[in-house]
Structure 1
Amino acid sequence: MMTNLFSVFDPSTNLMSWSLNWLSSMMFLMFIPSMFWLLPSRFNKMWLNIMIALNKEFKSLLGNSYKKMTLIFISLFSFILFNNFLGLFPYIFTSSSHMVFSLTLSLPLWLSFMLFGWINHSQHMFSHLIPQGTPPVLMPFMVIIETISNVIRPGTLAIRLSANMIAGHLLLTLLGNTGPKASLMILVILLITQMALLILEMAVSFIQSYVFAVLTTLYSSEVY
């Protein structure tokens, strides 16, 4: 019997005191080599179209000076997307629903952007602390507010990804636990509801990886 609802997200697979759950974050590598030695398929063409569309959008956000950085954000999008999708399969550890995973991605990226901006474009970074048209009386308060909003960016990125992935999994777990005790009519309704939720979770997996990559791109575009 499940004593804690969040225990479904706890690492539980161990081999010689080593946790094997985080190996699920590397399972996306199994999907990549096939693109190089198999004949072009619909999946390859679909993925190529997605990459081209993302490359165009990230270029428009970054500008011409740093357009080569789009590879970083496309890779980030792909990594999060594969981990989100793999978490929807049974008995696969959902690494993207943990702060250890999401904060490990957001904090180094944000810190590198801040160091690059303050070292190379200090005056530009100071100008971001006071929005244009701010009255002189409100300038000290705006500096404090902008500084706080800038500092909490990696946390908000990490929490947004983890919370959205946890929410859908919790709902699917709650509905799944009521199945064995339900009548046939209720069971049919539960199955239809879970199928609908699973399709919704697929959309959420794509949207959250896209939001994470786009917000990271926007944060990077502010440092130059």
Structure 2
Amino acid sequence: MMTSLFSVFDPSTSIISSSLSLNWSSMILGFLCIPLLFWFIPSRLSTIWIFINKTLHYEFKTLLGVDNKGTSSIFIPLFLFLLFNNFLGLFPYIFTSSSHLIMTLSLALPLWMSFMIFGWIKNTNHMFAHLMPQGTPPLLMPFMVCIESISNMIRPGTLAIRLAANMIAGHLLLTLLGSTGPSLSIIPTSFLIITQIALLLLESAVAIIQAYVFTILITLYASEVK
């Protein structure tokens, strides 16, 4: 069973049994935030949902260009999926799936690889042009090709590490500060609670920002393969 908040980072921990791990099932808990009546009856919730989808669509459309052919429909669910998982990780004793590289890399690597394969097959000259920035001196051309190739290859890793590191750092800080509470007197505990609330608000902002940054960077990588 879970003995501390650090257990939410352990994929093998389970509430029911040590042989049956249900932690990764927390990734689908976001669907519980969307009641069934949402799909049938127009409400304020559906209005907010449509507004968010339209805003994200126009944002991704600007990055992808006018002729995106519905490509934004890939990135909007990705953003909402990350947003739900990041927020669920803020609740105590709920497994934080977005803090694990196996989850973030599973999102970044297939998308990046599909864009690269599509770009090199359909638009080879354009992909070669990206390896050589305009105005590069002839002497530096071989080095620039190596640098651009390496920077392109590490993109999925940097995406995955950025999201996982930002999500786990705040959680650990909240846990470490909270563990000192029982040993403090009333006045320091009051300041500790205020600090914890401020950090929780900061982590809520980080949850939104990191989901947005991950999706925007993937969108920028997709726009380069045209």
Is TM (by shorter chain) over 0.5?
Answer: yes
1:59/1:67 contact within 8 Å kept: no
Alignment CA distance shift 1:170-1:27 (3 Å):
same
2:64 maps to 62
The alpha carbon displacement at 1:6 in A equals: 6.0
1:91 maps to 93
1:9 maps to 9
1:134 maps to 136
Question: Counterparts in 2 of 1:17-166, with a 5 A limit?
Answer: 17-34=19-36, 35-41=38-44, 43-166=45-168
1:193 maps to 195
Report the residue type matching 2:39 in the other structure: F
Q: Report whether the alignment pairs 1:173 with 2:175.
A: yes
Quick one: distance in 2 between partners of 1:149 and 1:16? 41
The alpha carbon displacement at 1:17 in A equals: 1.9
Per-residue CA deviation, residues 1-24 of structure 1 (Å, 9 max, x unaligned), is xxx996651121164723100000
Alignment CA distance shift 1:36-1:8 (3 Å):
closer
1:205 maps to 207
1:96/1:102 contact within 8 Å kept: yes
Per-residue CA deviation, residues 157-202 of structure 1 (Å, 9 max, x unaligned), is 0000000001110110011100010110011111111011111111
Per-residue CA deviation, residues 90-111 of structure 1 (Å, 9 max, x unaligned), is 1110000110110000000000
Secondary structure of 1:68's counterpart equals coil
Quick one: distance in 2 between partners of 1:102 and 1:223? 22
1:58/1:67 contact within 8 Å kept: no
Quick one: distance in 2 between partners of 1:71 and 1:44? 18
The alpha carbon displacement at 1:48 in A equals: 2.3
Report the residue type matching 2:43 in the other structure: P
2:5/2:93 contact within 8 Å kept: no
The alpha carbon displacement at 1:32 in A equals: 2.9
Gaps of 5+ in 1: none
Q: Comparing 31-40 with 123-132, which one deviates more in the overlay?
A: 31-40
Report the residue type matching 1:10 in the other structure: D
* Percent of pairs with identical residues: 61
Superposition TM-score, scaled by structure 2 size? 0.92
Superposition TM-score, scaled by structure 1 size? 0.93
The alpha carbon displacement at 1:126 in A equals: 0.4
The alpha carbon displacement at 1:220 in A equals: 0.3
How large is the Cα RMSD of the aligned pairs? 1.9
Gaps of 5+ in 2: none
The alpha carbon displacement at 1:64 in A equals: 1.9
2:8/2:96 contact within 8 Å kept: no
Aligned length: 221
